[in-house]
Amino acid sequence: MSRILLVLGVVIGLISCQPSPRNVNVDWAHYLGDPASSQYVQLDQINKQNVDQLEVAWTFDTGDSAMYQTNNLIVNGILYTATPHSRVIALDATDGSHLWTFDPSEVKDSLSDTDQRGIMYWNDGQAGRIFTSKGTYLFALNAKNGKLVRDFGQNGSIHLGEQLDVEGQPKVYLNTPGYIYNDVFIIGTNVPENVPGAVRAFDLKTGIRKWIFHTLPRPDEFGSETWPEGYLERTGGASDWSGLAIDTARGMVFLSTETAGPDFYGGNRYGENLFANSVVALDAETGERIWHRQLVHHDLWDLDCPSPPNLLTVTHEGVTRDVVAQGTKMGLLFVFDRETGEPLWPIEEIPIEPSRIADVKSWPTQPFPTKPPPLMRQRYTENDISNISPRAEMMTREVLAQSGNYGPYPPPSLEQVIMFPGYDGGMEWGGSAADPDGILYVNVNEMPWFYQLVPTGSDGGVPLSLGERHYRIQCASCHGIDRQGNPGGGFPAVADVRERLPREMVENIIEHGGGRMPSFHRLSETRKKAIVDFLYGVETESEGAGPDENDPPYAFRGFQRWFDDEGYPAIKPPWGTLNAVDLNTGTIKWKVPLGEFEELTDRGIPITGTENYGGPVVTSGGVIFIGATADGKMRAFDKDTGAVLWTHDLPFDGNATPSTYMVDGKQYVVISAGNAKKKPVYGGMLVCFTLPD
């Protein structure tokens, strides 16, 4: 009998190792793999034993050069990508040959480019539909030929600022696609800081809104009591730009929301500020709230929920539980029961350092999960002083002594303090990969930044002009008080803009937005003109002296990473990690550096990791695929140990989440490569890998 069982086992093993049968297709038909945002696929043709044999199957140059963050869709052997300039291109997924291109700019004039991380596909039982966006419009396309579906919306498109329950047509964007549920698609929206956010469901055939959930509640709605009187006149935001997840079996949609606006000044919106910085569960049929959990109270630090929620199943204390997990910029993981919103492990409200500015009040406590442990350091201490060179050590020690660090919630102050964890995470928009066995694979940044508020009415007692004041209020957070920008964050200097660009172009960008910059069309003409006058040096010093009554008295100095004089993060490595978190037990299974500076490795410094943007994908073959790093490589990791199994150079940094799929029995892995925030040169290449025949 034992011999029979042995032979049977060998036969089964041989069968399982045979190539997948021809004519087998496995699609990647949804953003991040499925409506649960799991970034997981049941494919094992590429596995731990053979992944080191991967080779390039094909490449495709989109012809665009900008941040390329698209998680590509593959349906019925066709790959659909949104290029860096938001054209949609369809390719044969087996060889990269071009099928068709749709360019929204040929349909609508003056559409601004914004970050676009994906598109939506709907199987309508006929040709299929693609839903894509550019600027303020969302378009419906025939999936077979790329032509507009003219009976959708207004001749094939809808304006994303309409059906938003606000006055006029605000310029709002869709940088992260939503998901299809029954007869609707459900999306969040990227809104300016003065436009209230919402999540909406639209009819798939007509584009007519079916329901709306106000993530910034209206007066008398649940949550409005967490805001001061007249709040809607002074704030906006609290939207879901980072993505959502849908439990299709239960008919529940899960949101992950941003801070309320203005991001860094909260003096006139004191309160918990629901539903900002929250995980919210809605009824997918009606949009009604089922439960919510706020992860940051009264955010003064731009600590948006940076990634979609993950839906997965765990075994908790011997009981199978369906859960929703949400990562944060602070490197924390919150885990909740999917139906009730109850945390799997207790959450503690811990006091934080109070504000140092009298009229900017911080909330006294913030929530911290007791499990899992933080995936990154929570405070910059003397133990974190850089050790990559004697000079870096001296410099970081001096700055730490001058600035100090107070963890993820530094006190609002007119003096510089260290912001660590930083504004870009911790976790970020690339998302996390959820294995069916309850393990979550998460990449994390460990980059120190600076935090400081500055007055908007005067500088050293000297009143500011109207233009400079509103430059500080509207522009300085990205372009800096000194107008030198933040090259590492993708924000250009504007100190010399009058020498580089005609005034009309700058006025157009302020009006319509472009790239990472939102539209400021709701700002008064007087203030827009004053800002441009200031940038072009044509205003008088006394013009508009003294702040307006409704202007915030303080503004954020600007996003500024902390680097040493060699350009490396001013903190002891690791600077980027990949983590396996066991959500059955609330423990970290393993942690490894993600990314490498080869010149530092050559100096004898252990691998440091790098900043990383774009998420992982995990497969049933036991492999994690991820690009993301600043060294322009694609990697495969062993999901059980974190060991690197394979690396390959990309033409540009792969700052996107990969996709993996099967066509005619052959598995492929594809990633968008175009560089992101830290590189001066952009591209727009697709790179696809497969095993040799």
Cβ within 8 Å of residue 501, ≥6 positions away: none
pLDDT digits (tens, 9 = 90+) for 552-602: 899 999 999 999 999 999 999 999 999 999 999 999 999 999 999 999 999
pLDDT reported for residue 485: 84
pLDDT reported for residue 407: 93
| Mean predicted confidence (pLDDT) in 331-338 | 98
| Mean predicted confidence (pLDDT) in 475-497 | 83
pLDDT reported for residue 487: 63
Flag whether pLDDT at 14 surpasses 70.
no
Between 529 and 96, name the one with better pLDDT: 96
pLDDT digits (tens, 9 = 90+) for 374-421: 999 999 999 999 999 999 999 999 999 999 899 999 999 999 999 999
Flag whether pLDDT at 10 surpasses 70.
no
d(CA 399, CA 380): 11
pLDDT reported for residue 109: 86
Torsion on CA atoms 91, 94, 95, 100, rounded to nearest 10: -10
| Mean predicted confidence (pLDDT) in 275-296 | 98
**Can you tell me which residue has the tokens 């060889």?**
95
Query: Which tokens in the block code for residue 99?
Result: 């099928």
Flag whether pLDDT at 488 surpasses 90.
no
- Residue 17 pLDDT level (bands cut at 50, 70, 90): very low
From residue 117, how far is each of 75, 81, 508, 654 by CA, in Å?
17, 9, 24, 13
pLDDT digits (tens, 9 = 90+) for 191-226: 999 999 999 999 999 999 999 999 999 999 999 999
Flag whether pLDDT at 6 surpasses 50.
no
Q: How many CA atoms lie within 13 A of 55 on its CB side?
A: 4
Which runs of consecutive H residues, i.e. helices, occur in 353-464? 390-403
d(CA 432, CA 628): 12
Flag whether pLDDT at 313 surpasses 80.
yes
- Residue 460 pLDDT level (bands cut at 50, 70, 90): confident
- Residue 514 pLDDT level (bands cut at 50, 70, 90): confident
Helices (H) and strands (E) in the chain, counts: 8, 40
- Return the SS3 of 283: strand
- Residue 518 pLDDT level (bands cut at 50, 70, 90): confident
Cβ within 8 Å of residue 322, ≥6 positions away: 247, 311, 312, 313, 337, 338, 339
- Residue 7 pLDDT level (bands cut at 50, 70, 90): very low
| Mean predicted confidence (pLDDT) in 441-463 | 93
* % of the chain with per-residue pLDDT over 70: 94
Flag whether pLDDT at 4 surpasses 70.
no
* % of the chain with per-residue pLDDT over 90: 81
pLDDT reported for residue 691: 98
Which residue ranges form the domains of the chain, and what is each CATH number?
Answer: 160-368 (2.140.10.10), 453-556 (1.10.760.10)
Task: Using alpha carbons, select from 445, 411, 447 the residue that is nearest to residue 428.
Answer: 445
CA 493 to chain centre: 23
d(CA 612, CA 40): 20
Torsion on CA atoms 406, 412, 416, 421, rounded to nearest 10: 40
Q: Which residue type sits at 618?
A: V
- Return the SS3 of 473: helix
pLDDT reported for residue 568: 96
d(CA 374, CA 144): 46
The per-residue b/e assignment along 539-549, b for 16 or more CB within 10 angstroms, e otherwise, is beeeebeebee
d(CA 285, CA 210): 9
- Residue 16 pLDDT level (bands cut at 50, 70, 90): very low
pLDDT reported for residue 21: 61
pLDDT digits (tens, 9 = 90+) for 640-678: 999 999 999 999 999 999 999 999 999 999 999 998 666
